[in-house]
Structures are given as structure tokens and as C-alpha cells.
Structure 1
Amino acid sequence: MDPESDSGMASWNPHPSGHNTHDMEQKLRQSEEAREDVERKLEEETRLKVFYQDKALQLESKLQDHEERLCSLENKMAALMEKHPIQQQQQQQVVGERVGRESQDQSVAEDSEETGIREVKVGEALTFGLDPATIHGKLDTQVDSEKGKILISYNGDQEVVNTVGRFVGKSHTALADVMISGGRWYWEVDVRKSNHYRMGVASKTVKRDKWIGDTKKSWCIRNNDGEVSARHNYDDSGLRLVRNPPIIGVLLDYDSAKVHFFDVDSGKHLQTYEVDVSEPLRPAFQVNEGCVVVNSAAGSPAKMEELLSAMDAAGDTIPDFTREASWHRNRFFNDKRMADISMLIGKQWRQVATCLGLQKVQLDKMELNHPKDHTRQVMEGLVTWRGTAKDDDEMLTELTSCLKKWDRSDLAEQIQEEHDQLTTEASEDPS
């Protein structure tokens, strides 16, 4: 029997048909296209996330502005009353103060005398307190006039009673009880216990319903949830910092119409502004969280000369490590070593930073602050980690362990070797 004539037997082909191969290739292409489409969508979602985070920050700022405008009505009414002597006299009678027909300038002068405000002169010591008529109702203050120290803390639970001249709304501000109209003056502010503050100078007639730095008559250093910048008239000047200044020095050179800001801890010049000296200027302090300590007795002619002579012309550069604070400079994990590690740590920096205890929201903010500067992102993370009051031995153990966990044993070993070498050299040094 001819096998080919047997209709009951199906022929078997050991090789798949071309049609089946084509189907498989088509499915593979479709799978690859689907994978690429998912990757594109993920990238687009990431871009949108960054975009909307930025928009949220902008909207938050605009909302703040609108809220401040709503709070300005009382202040404007008070300003109008000050322009009319009759209304001002009626207000003074209600509160039991002076009665009589006086010009506005005379009233302001007498009010200044009663509240202890004074105009300082060249050659005087600047030790100052706070003007109680300006202190926002949600600020608690303690003044040690003998030592020139002032503690200013934010108390959100307090009820606010607004009066003429007092800061209102969310401008949790107080002005010093001095008016500066000549000479050079310097004071320092310890800001280590606050992550929301503004420190600087303001004109005598600065608006009481505005944040300092958000008017033409105020200049400041600003910390907004860990992001430090210089600010004037709503304009932020970014500061290239590897760490936030723990103590801010303010040097007002009225005769040159300039105010300089310094990181006292490192001696780094932060920012210089030209100021309006058409009227007296006053030290200004805004605290929106925690507390700050003002030292008005910190200034001396010698110190001011030293700061001005050492002021870096390129004030936005990386801090000069030769002027680093001694307790950081003498540490193993000083700023220079942290910068070296930042350049070597690589793409695993987020995993390492998370292992070191940093939160995702902190890491996202670092990326937003420095979107095209990977090294600076890492540096900010390492400095934030160091700021948790760890000693070198604890830091060494924690960092090398996290590096090894994320496949950077080479860098962990390099850091360990550097530490061991320095330890050996220190033990052999007879001094």
C-alpha cells in the first residue's frame, strides 16, 4: 500500500511551520513594545511627580500671600488712624495714655521713649533687647540684658491680641529696641533649634503684615524646612551650602549701605545686600518653629574687621575648608572627607542614605534642591546624617556597614584604611 494514499494517517512534520514562527516573533515584539511603553509611562509619572511637587510649593507660597493679605486690614486701619491726630488722641484716651493735641512725629518720639527704643550712635555698644510693641502674639521671649542674650520661641497655642505696631498674621516677627542710623554693627543668632526662621534687618516703617524678606524694606537669611537661602523683596538667592549654618552672623555697615551675612561656625560669607538707608534700620527676627538665641553682645570692631577682611568675593562657593570649625576640622569625618566620599559613593546613594536613617521625603527634597548635581545631593545627605550628634567611631561603623550592604565594600574598605592610618599616626605622634 502506498503510504501517501493512506488518508487515515496524518503526516507528521518535525519542523514548525513558518506561520507559527511568525506568531511567536510578533508576540515577542508586542511584549517588548509593552515593556517600553510601561517604562515611558513610569518616566512620565516621575516627571509629573516632580512637576506637581514644584507646583504645590508655588501654590503654598501663593496661599500664604493671600492669607497674609487677609490679615492686613487691621494694620492698614491702624496706619490710617496714625495719620489723623484726632483719631490717634481718641485711641490714646481709651487705653489711658497721654491726652492732648500733638503732632504725629511728637507722638512717635514719645512712644519710642516709653517703650525704650533708642537710636544708637557710632562708638556705642549695641547690646539690645526687643521692642515689645512689635512682638508677634505667638512669640515667647526672654531677655538677659546684662549678657545681651535674647531667647525667642514660637508658641502656636497662644491667643493673639493685635495692637498698633505689632506684627500680625503669619509674620511671627519681632524687632530690636534700637534704631541704627550710622556706623557698623554686628550680632549673632544661634538657629540650631529651628528649621523655620528668617534673620536680618528691616527699615523702621517695614510693613507689619509681611514676612521679612518679602518687602522692599527687609533683608534676611531664610530657612524654609531645611532649605536655606538669602531673601529680599520676594526674591530668593540660593546658597551653595554643604550644611546649614548653626549660627548666623549679621554685620550691618550702615555707612556703606550694606548688610553682610556669615556662617559664624565656618567663617564663610553667605550673602551681601545693598540696603535702603533713607530711614533707620532695625535688627529683625522671625521664628515660625522652635526657638533661636540672639547674642547682641557678640560684636567688636576687631571681629568685624576680621570678618570683612576674610569675606570671600565669590560668596556662593563651597566653604573654605581651611576655615572650618575646629570640632569639625579635627574630626575624621570632616567636611573635606565628606565631600570626597560624596564624589565616590555612586548611584546607590539613596539606598545608603536610607540605611543611615534619612527619610524618603528628605532625599526627594535633596534631589529637588540639586536636580543636576548628584555629588551635592549626596553631600547634603551625609552632612544631615552627621548632624545627628554622632561621634566618629559610631559614624565609621554605621557608614561602612551600609556601604557593604549595598555592594560598595571597596569604598567601605578605603574609608576604614584611612581611619586606621590616621589612628596609627596619632598614636605614634609624641605630642
Structure 2
Amino acid sequence: MAMPIRIYPLCRWAGRTVSSLSAGHRQEVSLSARRRFISTSTGDNPQFRLNERTAHSSLDLFKKDTGIIYRMLGLDPSQVQDDPERFREWAVVLADKKISSGRHYWEVTVKKSQEFRLGVAEALMSRDECVGTNSSSWVFGYAQRKWFAMTNSKVVPVTLVGKPDRVGILLDYEAGILGLVDTEKPRIIHTLRAQFIAPVCPAFGLWDGELLTHSGLEEPEGL
């Protein structure tokens, strides 16, 4: 049995850093390079935008609410419209798409960021917690030049991937699968398994640089 491995991805809260520890097993799935087209009109893979009402005050939305930029100082929280959907302590934003069934695929372009998280979270998760630190969110993250998978503060190192400019996320709600996809091969680099029992939204955490989301895309065949 493989020995546990400890890594220390960071998540910033009100100017502080919090370390998350744990371990797990890796899974890699090789895939065909062929691609199939999924029409967005079927409803299987619709487009989404980022929900400004959920965005922490340090995050600015741009490009018609499909991208986010981290501002080191951010906005004065007292100047941001009070909204119960807004993340109050963590630099997190959710998409406006609630998913409760089906298979969904989207991609994210990473620009000048060395610390971010990508995945899904229950639409009603606590706005006082960070994605990946509870049992209602599942993410892939990058920090300290290392990738990891994370849920409920349990961290699993993800290998066989460097610092790509663009990655894919595959969600199969009924199968309970969230996959990190190498868009160049294409292949699933790592799989998180879960039992989804409530609607989830694409979720993003960002602590520097910017992210741009791409939804309503083709899905690589075989994912």
C-alpha cells in the first residue's frame, strides 16, 4: 500500500494563509485523440457565465462575465453590495449554471496565476468556507508549483501535468465523477469521485492572475 504523501496547497483568508493536509490515491485514464461534437442546443453542455452575486470582493469579472481577475487589495467589502450569495472571506466565485444531472464539460485558460482552484461546489455551500475545504465542493488546484485534488480538506497530489495554459473539467453527475482533462492529448489526468446529492455549480478560486472560462465546447471522445 502506498504511503500517504503530504503537501501544503495554500488558501488565503483575510490576508492570512491556511494549510490543508491529507493524502490519497491517483488515477489516470488514457483517451483517444478523436473528438466528438456535443451541440449546446441539446442542453447536455450549455454555456454558463460567472455569477457576480457570488464573487468575493477581491475578484473582478470581465469578458461578459466569463473571466475573473484577482485584485490584491480588491474592493472595500463595505462598498460591495451586500448579498447572501457572495463569498465573504475567500476569493471564490460560482457559475450561474446549476447542474443536477447529466454530463458536462468546460475548459479554463490560466493567465499569470500561480494559485487557483477549479471544480464544482454545491449551489448552497457555505459562503464562509473555501472550495475544497468542505464536503460540498470538489476541486483541482495549483499552488507552490504543484497540482492537487481536494475535497473536505483532503488533498491528493496530482502528477503527470505541468503548468498548462488551458485545462478541461469533466463532470458526470450520475456517475459521481469530476475529471481534470489534459486538452492537448486529450486524456483525463486525474479523477475525483463523489456522491452528488444536491445541485452543483462550476466553481473557481483565484489568488493571483486571471482565469477565463470556456463553456459549450466539444467534448473529447471517450472521456
TM range (shorter): 0.7 to 0.9
Is it true that 1:180 corresponds to 2:96 in the alignment? no
In 2 relative to 1, CA 246–279 (structure 1 residues): closer, same or farther, beyond 3 Å? same
1:223-262 alignment to 2 at 5 Å?
Answer: 223-241=142-160, 243-262=162-181
Q: Provide the rounded CA distance (Å) in 2 between the counterparts of 1:123 and 1:168.
A: 36
SS at the partner of 1:141?
A: strand
Q: Deviations over 1:155-213 (max 9, x none)?
A: 122222353121011x2111111111111110000114211100000112212122211
Q: Does 1:159 align with 2:76?
A: yes
Q: Sort the Cα spacing of 1:258 and 1:249 in 2 relative to 1 into closer, same or farther, 3 A.
A: same
Q: Name the TM-score, length of structure 1 as normaliser.
A: 0.41
1:262-291 deviation line (CA, Å, top 9, x unaligned): 121332422212223211110001111000
Q: Deviations over 1:348-390 (max 9, x none)?
A: xxxxxxxxxxxxxxxxxxxxxxxxxxxxxxxxxxxxxxxxxxx
Alpha-carbon distance change, 60 to 122 in structure 1, aligned in 2, over 3 angstroms: closer
What residue in structure 2 maps to residue 137 of structure 1? 57
Supply the distance in 2 between the matched residues of 1:201 and 1:184 (Cα, whole angstroms): 13
Which of 79, 83, 88 is equivalent to 1:168? 88
| C-alpha distance in structure 2 between counterparts of 1:167 and 1:252, whole Å | 23
Cα distance in 2 for residues equivalent to 1:173 and 1:214: 12
Q: Which residue matches 2:46?
A: 126
Q: CA, structure 1 residues 207+219, in 2 after alignment: closer, same or farther (shift >3 Å)?
A: same
SS at match of 1:133: helix
CA distance 1:175–1:60, change in 2 (3 Å): closer
5+ residue gaps in structure 2? Answer: 1-5, 20-39
Change beyond 3 A, Cα 1:279–1:242: closer
Mark the runs of 5 or more structure 1 residues left unpaired by the alignment.
1-53, 67-120, 309-431
Deviation at 1:143, TM superposition (A): 3.6
Deviation, 1:223, is 0.8
Aligned residue type for 2:142 = N
Higher helix share: 1
Amino acid corresponding to residue 159 of structure 1 in structure 2: D
Q: Match of 1:155, as an amino acid?
A: R
Question: Do 1:153 and 1:292's aligned partners in 2 also have CA atoms closer than 8 Å?
Answer: yes
**Per the alignment, in what secondary structure is the counterpart of residue 272 of structure 1?**
strand
Tell whether the 8 Å contact from 2:161 to 2:189 is kept in structure 1 after alignment.
no
Q: Whose RCO is larger (CA < 8 A, sep 6+)?
A: 2
Change (3 A) 1:129 1:244: same
Distance 1:293 1:201, change over 3 A: same
Give the 3-state SS of the residue equivalent to 2:42 in structure 1.
Answer: coil
Q: Call closer, same or farther: CA 1:59–1:164 in 2, change over 3 Å.
A: closer
CA pair 241-186 structure 1, distance change in 2 beyond 3 A: same
Query: Are 2:158 and 1:204 aligned?
Result: no
User: Is the Cα–Cα contact under 8 Å of residues 217 and 276 in structure 1 kept in the other structure?
Assistant: no
Equivalent in the alignment of 2:203:
284
Contact 2:122/2:199, CA 8 A, preserved across alignment:
yes
Displacement of 1:233 in angstroms is: 1.1
Is this contact kept in 1: 2:52–2:61, CA < 8 A?
no
How high is the TM-score relative to the length of structure 2? Answer: 0.76
2:67 and 2:211 in contact (8 A); partners too: yes
Which has more radius of gyration?
1
Who is 1:4 aligned against?
A: none
Number of aligned residue pairs: 191
